[in-house]
A and B are shown apart, each in its own frame.
Chain A
């Protein structure tokens, strides 16, 4: 099992969508952490756990670019079969991410 705890592994204060838009963006998170860890999880045939708790909050653009962007990057919208999202602070985010992933390749 591979775990990403965003608060510890990336930042406590996530930003917007693209790297050019400012610090701690969804694109930066996807490029540096999510995508490599996802590929590693696929290789090892393990589950990737992404823990969103303990941060200030998440903009929709950050989550869409991270998870929806991963679908677009890999041209695969079944990524959530290998990813488990933990969000006890904001339970609604899990559903939001699922909808971003579904709509990413449409």
Chain B
């Protein structure tokens, strides 16, 4: 009897422990599910969706996406969250914003990890919707409502890559040649400029940036002038120039990051490669402007922006409150 009661007690204890363990696991699973359950994040684009014409609001929109992405990407959750880009209120849109949106969608969907579904809505404004489609947004996303759009002849839709692509650069030059009166030397210098910016994206891809994979995006459109927009989703100019200069000389000055961009254009800084024979890419861009191969130039990177206008030697430097991850070049030819 005594023997039986001991073994019964042992069985009972074991059973209780097993039961409690199972219960604990069940509770933990529930808590984990609650913590990591799929969520839907909605981001509403501003009415003027343009980094050039409405920089601050557009940057807030993009940075809020990047913040959520970075936060969710660092968790161990295997569940898929949804990002919904609401463009319905957009009334004016420019290629630079379309490019950055494409860059974000590309990175979220394919490059970094597959933790998100991406969904969105088109602008209700027909003009804005048309611009979005004309610049090739549908080449990067699927749409059930709009299909069979033919590319327009008067622009080069947004193209992208992560390496120097001379064939694409040559296509752009052929397009500019067909739609402008640029002379042979001017075309060669613009080709050089495109290759330099593509190369900068590759060379400065030594960031530990897990949010945006370094890529270049280019589009060209014709109007009164030919306008070429290039986006480089690397670390940005202010964070890639040598730390020594930027900290000592520029720390206390207003519009600090704009000044860093301006100085980098003049070749004042060594870049992170620290090799003396390198870092000639940005000065080459300014050389194009100084020799009138391009009329106007706008560069946005980090918090900084630098505008070089035709018929003026002064550069317009202005820092924004928000920081832009990457670099945008806008050239008027």
Contact = CB atoms under 8 A, between A and B. Distances in A.
Interface stretch (A21-29, A31-39, A41-49): A21-29
Given A56-B169, A57-B187, A57-B189, A23 B280 contact: no
Nearest to B197: A59
Contact of B164 (A16, A56, A103): A16
B192 interface: yes
Interface in A80-98: 89-90
B261 to A, nearest CB: 19
Nearest to B284: A60
Given A56-B166, A60-B196, A16 B173 contact: no
Interface string B199-230: 10011000000000000000000000000000
Contacts of B189: 57
B188 interface: yes
Nearest to A25: B164
A78 B173 CA distance: 35
A90 B291 CA distance: 13
A103 B276 CA distance: 9
Contact of A15 (B195, B276, B278): B195
Chain B, interface residues (CB within 8 Å), range: 20 to 34
A16 B195 contact: yes
A interface secondary structure, majority: loop
B191 interface: yes
B192 to A, nearest CB: 4
Interface in A42-72: 55-62, 64, 68
Contacts of A60: 192, 196, 280-281, 284
Nearest to B174: A56
Contacts of A25: 164
A5 interface: no
B14 to A, nearest CB: 62
B165 interface: yes
A63 to B, nearest CB: 10
A81 to B, nearest CB: 20
Contacts of B276: 103, 106
A54 to B, nearest CB: 11
> Residue among B163, B170, B277 with the most chain A CB within 10 A?
B277
A16 B191 CA distance: 11
Contact of B277 (A13, A22, A68, A90): A68
B231 interface: no
B173 A22 contact: no
Contacts of A7: none
Nearest to A21: B202
A22 B281 contact: no
A84 B111 CA distance: 46
Contacts of A89: 184-185, 188
A22 B163 contact: yes
A104 interface: yes
A16 B277 CA distance: 14
Interface in B236-284: 276-278, 280-281, 284
A29 to B, nearest CB: 12
B198 interface: yes
Contacts of A17: 199, 203, 278
6 pairs of A and B residues whose beta carbons are closest in the complex: A22-B164, A57-B191, A16-B199, A22-B163, A57-B188, A13-B166
Given A59-B195, A61-B280, 16 more contacts: A13-B169, A16-B195, A16-B199, A17-B199, A21-B163, A23-B165, A55-B188, A56-B166, A56-B169, A57-B187, A57-B190, A57-B191, A57-B192, A58-B188, A60-B280, A106-B276
17 contacts: A15-B165, A17-B278, A22-B165, A22-B166, A22-B199, A23-B166, A56-B188, A56-B191, A57-B188, A57-B190, A58-B192, A59-B192, A59-B195, A60-B280, A64-B277, A64-B278, A90-B188
